[in-house]
Structure 1
């Protein structure tokens, strides 16, 4: 009887450990709170690029709304996004770099999927080491294979514009909520492509470190 009890307890412990491991691979995000924030004109009046970042972890509530504002689905029936894209290609993916790892934002499921464990914020910071202090750094990656037409040079132009529009959504939201952020193009792009397993058609274009204000 005792041995059966021990086996049962062992199974429960293993199952709990497995469940925890599975939870770490995905982070469920909150539904967007579309009632929060300042009016657009006031938010624009507060927009500024931060020169320093706090190390306090960004809450799940704030991270959820940042990502939805950036490029979430605002018209579910059509699957369309908060940020426009050339030919509605929806070419921009958002990777979220944190101390625990780098995650990919899935706007359809409204969750984060773990891509790689470990802290790679230093690759996004590049030579500006102080940027790596930010608890969250968003990486905007365009997959130009999603464009249905155009030469490669045109696709790269569209990709840059699409990423910029996603970044601007982030900046306006952060200004509205009093968060510190800064749009950047500097990063270790080739190393990031290797770490994240990006394809030849995926281009890291911009990154946005985010924190609470000091």
Structure 2
């Protein structure tokens, strides 16, 4: 298809090996501009991005995220945060009380805003020839990360994004069959199990090829091994510390 945006999105892959070539100030500026251009609930713009390029700070973040070495290796780490601190200032300026942070709705609004903004950042970075990998491990030890980067009350990390020049291109991962994701007119449950079984076979074959036969882990096995526990247990404590008091 002769559409540059579509082609960029369809060519996405996560990069976990980077050269030492820096990301230019102009490229970083364009990425942040795309973040600000993203839609947001009530135009509240509940997103803050902290860019980190200091090697020592990146090394510490890599450790906190579970020793993800590509965070330290790449030239730029972006931390995407839900931010109601500016809303708190707006409330103060107008003699109002900030109440939304007492409702779970604030999490949905903030996380949706971050997702939209991060999607823009990823698309623009990749269109510039840069590689990226999202870092959910930003929530692994969030209290330490909050202290390290000085996040104020009503601000918390959702995800990181590594940005740099790829040392090599990863293979594209297979996605679920479209019929498992695109449900027309209503949610269809009848064929999901068979679709997932078929997808498991594709992913298992991909893993065997990728690892030279050393691993055959499929999609449902991977998902099950994560979702059989609360794998980032400090998140609730983080939210309470940052001023979110859900009723």
- Equivalent position of 1:175 in the other structure: 126
- Deviation sequence 1:23-82 (CA, Å, 0-9, x none): xxxxxxxxxxxxxxx7211111222111222222111121111111222xxxxxxxxxx1
> Is 1:40 aligned to 2:5, yes or no?
yes
- Deviation sequence 1:103-151 (CA, Å, 0-9, x none): xxxxxxxxxxxxxxxx311343221123211100111111235287644
- Equivalent position of 1:210 in the other structure: 163
Q: Which region of structure 1 is more displaced relative to structure 2, 156-165 or 144-153?
A: 144-153
Tell me, yes or no, if the aligned pair for 1:144 and 1:156 is still in contact at 8 Å.
Answer: no
Counterpart among 47, 58, 72 of residue 92 in structure 1:
47
Mapped to 1, the partners of 2:46 and 2:70 lie a distance apart of: 30
Which structure shows the bigger proportion of residues in helix conformation? Answer: 2
Tell me, yes or no, if the aligned pair for 2:19 and 2:74 is still in contact at 8 Å.
Answer: yes
Listed as ranges, the gaps of 5+ residues in structure 1 are 1-37, 72-81, 101-118
Counterpart among 62, 65, 70 of residue 30 in structure 2:
65
Mapped to 2, the partners of 1:62 and 1:199 lie a distance apart of: 28
- Equivalent position of 1:194 in the other structure: 147
CA RMSD of aligned residues (A): 2.0
Which structure shows the bigger proportion of residues in strand conformation? Answer: 1
> Is 1:143 aligned to 2:83, yes or no?
yes
Mapped to 2, the partners of 1:144 and 1:64 lie a distance apart of: 23
Which stretches of structure 1, 4 residues or more, deviate above 3 A after TM superposition?
147-151
- Equivalent position of 1:108 in the other structure: none
Counterpart among 106, 115, 119 of residue 164 in structure 1:
115
Mapped to 2, the partners of 1:175 and 1:57 lie a distance apart of: 15
Mapped to 2, the partners of 1:158 and 1:65 lie a distance apart of: 24
Q: How many residues align?
A: 149
- Equivalent position of 1:185 in the other structure: 136
Tell me, yes or no, if the aligned pair for 2:79 and 2:157 is still in contact at 8 Å.
Answer: yes
Tell me, yes or no, if the aligned pair for 2:27 and 2:125 is still in contact at 8 Å.
Answer: no
Tell me, yes or no, if the aligned pair for 1:53 and 1:134 is still in contact at 8 Å.
Answer: yes
